[in-house]
Amino acid sequence: MDELVRFGVSIEKGLLAKFDALIRRRNYTNRSEAFRDLIREELVKKAWDEGESVVGAVTIVYDHHRRELLNKITDVQHDFQGTIIAAQHIHLDHNNCLEIIAVRGKPADVQRLADTLRAIRGVKHGTLSMTGAGKDVE
């Protein structure tokens, strides 16, 4: 971990009160960590905008009984094997499967994979969460 540096921040009282309320809701124990995370979030967004490498997870929920779905989802994953690091299948209940797919690559590729999976009929829900690939979040 890099050396910690302290610096002063001037901020309006009202804005700080809102910030404190926000970070309480997000269970931060101190402002510094919350502030660091905000900066990291912006850096990840910047990496995304500039097309640098990002890492993340695509999660999809789909109907277990539609067997052809599993084939389609597997086909898509083979098409994107350069982007996918790992995938985990969880049998949620009698009807539903959850798939968590860890990804790494160009934002556009990752987004295309998520969109392609979500667009498959029978996929009930899909999310994409992104973070930086190392240097952006240190």
- Where on the chain is the footprint of Ni ion (CB under 5 A)? 64, 91, 97
- Smallest gap from residue 127 Cβ to Ni ion (A): 18
Nearer to Ni ion, 32 or 95 (CB): 95
Nearer to Ni ion, 91 or 121 (CB): 91
- Smallest gap from residue 70 Cβ to Ni ion (A): 8
Quote the CA–CA distance of 138 and 21 in Å, as a whole number.
26
96-105 β-sheet, strand order: 84-91, 96-105, 54-63, 123-132
Quote the CA–CA distance of 84 and 92 in Å, as a whole number.
22
Nearer to Ni ion, 54 or 69 (CB): 69
Contact between residue 124 and residue 62 where contact means Cβ atoms under 8 Å apart:
yes
Residue nearest to Ni ion (CB): 97
The enclosing H or E element of 102 equals strand 96-105
- Smallest gap from residue 97 Cβ to Ni ion (A): 3
